[in-house]
Chains A and B, each alone.
Chain A
Amino acid sequence: MLALLTVALMAMALAAFVLGPRLIGRLAARHKGAAAAQPAFDPGRERRAEQRARELLRSCVNDVEWAMYRDLGFIRVDGRPLPDAPSAEGAPAPYAYLIYPHKPIVAYVPETGRLLSEYCVNFPDVSGGGRTRLPASDDVLAKWMALTSDEARVIGRANMHLVGRQHDPGHVRRDIWRLSEWERLGAGRVGARAA
């Protein structure tokens, strides 16, 4: 029997494409004359959206990355090996990124902890005129997908600054320390569970 292969096309925070015009039209009819009808803030809806976003993120990243995000609130993505560096399996990445929700991506050197720069990038909801933003975990997933698939493109589009413009450098250093402690104490356990 031939197994059916299903391909699903999914979208993050795209309901404005599917539902948006109808919803906005309804609100506009209720508030005639209002220049820009915005759906009212609904904490329950936001919470449900974030919950769905977390599930989607969890289904895309590996177990260690998911546990990192769940426990620490950010995900580390290793940078590409430098072109002139000798390739050694298991060698530490020359640089890495920390992905935070709705905050710039931070680049640093894992071996020394030296902070390199912060890359301010966002993913504006095109259907909302750029005024709206993705749920926090969708923002993390968008950055993760962009960095792991086409690092040069997303970094090229970002505004680069020294760490300290939006991030507190002391906070980031503390996060790097927390990450190293987390890996020392728990990553093996997570990895074993993932295997």
Chain B
Amino acid sequence: MKPGHGEVLLAEGDPRVRSDEELLIEEFRRQLDGGMWAAVPTERPGSGRREAQMVRDYGEIPPEAQRVIFFPRASGG
């Protein structure tokens, strides 16, 4: 059985600061290269409905996003 970990903070920073952004991009690529999927939780304005947005490239991250969550790719069970 897997030892429990839950969420782990991989990197954080201000994307408007060049050095921070480089760090975020590097970690983003590392996770995707490692076989993870990346998603950003979002909320539809007005409806209260929440959903996720898959991002395949750092540039696809919405500017207002506060976090990106990486999780293992789905496979048939």
Residues of A within 8 A of B (CB): 4-19, 23, 39-42, 45-53, 56, 59-62, 65, 104, 120-128, 131-135, 138, 141-142, 144-146, 148-150, 153-154, 157-159, 194-195
Contact = CB atoms under 8 A, between A and B. Distances in A.
A34 B40 CA distance: 40
Given A11-B36, A145-B39, A145-B41, A49 B76 contact: no
Given A12-B70, A124-B75, A149-B39, A7 B13 contact: yes
A120 B77 contact: yes
Given A18-B8, A126-B35, A150-B54, A11 B2 contact: no
A11 B52 contact: no
B71 A138 contact: yes
Contact of A47 (B1, B4, B43): B4
Nearest to A61: B50
B3 A39 contact: yes
A144 B52 contact: yes
User: Which of B3, B14, B39, B70 is packed against the most chain A CB atoms within 10 Å?
Assistant: B3
